Structure 1
Amino acid sequence: MDRYDGFREFVLARQQALMRSAYLLTGDAHLAEDLMQSVLLKVAGHWPRLVRSGAPEAYTRKAMVNQYISWRRRRQAEVSTADPPEHGHAHDNATVDRIVLREALARLTPRQRAVIVLRFYEDLSERQTAEILGCSLGTVKSQTHHALGRLRVLAPELTRLFAEMEEVRR
């Protein structure tokens, strides 16, 4: 029996969802690929133990969030506040909302961004989010509250979207 039995199948089955999470965390396609590759290397090294525990996806998501937070701490990257370039074509409202939200998410702390991604994009419960982040349920609730408040300040034009997020939270 190969120690990597099932790893390839796991990656193929979960690759899109994991890549989406990585992109939402980093806000950059290339960084998302780097994050996912880095985490999958770690997961491969622990694969036999993860299969025995029955929680390879939970471990992978937790490793992804931890790696992202670690990168942000090390890099202390500053988010560009320059105005986006003017384009000669119009965007629909949904596209504009996505761009504004992506820029607002990039200005959250790494922990707040992780909570928003896990709760609202990955549709995880507060308890599942707390397990992945390795924190208490109360911390998830307060981080979510603070993150949504900060998003309201950063992108007031998306008030409708944040109201929907609040409803989901309840």
Structure 2
Amino acid sequence: MKRTPSSGTSAQPLDFRDFAAARGCHLVRTAFLLTGGDAHLAEDLAQETLARLFARWRKISRLDNPTAYAQTVLVNTFLTHRRRRSSGEHVTSTFSEQPVHDTEPELRLALLKALGELPVQDRTVLVLRYWEDRSVEETAAMMRLSASGVRSRAARALVKLRTALGEELEQFAEL
């Protein structure tokens, strides 16, 4: 049952709850890819993103596309985390405890490993452009780069990804 403003509480938190329930899993999945497979950090980043959105929800909820704004906040939160990280944490080959029902789990693991080995900016460009299916302009705005910077970084990142996959890429191409 939704509360109405006449019942003494604002409907604003319920609208945010609906948004968080609808977009929360997507934010975690995107953060998982951005972090190179660190499920716990991905959950932390998604939670921090939702907290930042909640603090300004009245204004954000009136935007034309609050979902795109949430993705931008997630990317900025991730990039800020990477800049501020002072510990010597490294991405490991440990993945989420959730079972994966892929028809080709070896391909998924190889891709996640190769993606995790890319530099942060390269990984971010690939996730936004090819996982999130963002345009060059959207990616550029989210990462505060020029459109040509996004295109060149994406091209170099794809070369690095193909090199990292090496023979595995050829094996999976034959499947």
Pick from 7, 15, 18 the counterpart of residue 16 of structure 2: 7
Offset at 1:81? 8.0
* Matched pairs, number: 154
CA distance in 2, matches of 1:149, 1:13: 35
CA distance in 2, matches of 1:12, 1:18: 11
Whether contact under 8 Å (1:19, 1:36) holds in the other structure is yes
Superposed counterparts of 1:1-170, under 5 Å: 1=5, 2=10, 3-26=12-35, 27-75=37-85, 77=88, 79=90, 94-159=104-169
Offset at 1:61? 0.9
Whether contact under 8 Å (1:65, 1:133) holds in the other structure is yes
Normalised to the residue count of structure 2, the TM-score between the two structures is 0.76
Whether contact under 8 Å (1:115, 1:143) holds in the other structure is yes
SS at match of 2:133: coil
CA distance in 2, matches of 1:81, 1:17: 22
Offset at 1:116? 0.8
% identical aligned pairs: 39
From the CA coordinates, give the structure whose radius of gyration is larger: 2
Offset at 1:144? 0.5
CA distance in 2, matches of 1:147, 1:73: 20
Structure 2: state its 5+ residue gaps. 95-101
CA distance in 2, matches of 1:79, 1:24: 15
Offset at 1:16? 2.1
Counterpart amino acid of residue 56 in structure 1 = P
CA distance in 2, matches of 1:79, 1:129: 26
Task: Call closer, same or farther: CA 1:125–1:160 in 2, change over 3 Å.
Answer: farther
Task: Call closer, same or farther: CA 1:8–1:150 in 2, change over 3 Å.
Answer: same
Structure 1: state its 5+ residue gaps. 85-91, 164-170
Q: What's the Cα RMSD here?
A: 2.6
Whether contact under 8 Å (2:16, 2:54) holds in the other structure is yes
SS at match of 2:43: helix
Task: Call closer, same or farther: CA 1:97–1:53 in 2, change over 3 Å.
Answer: same
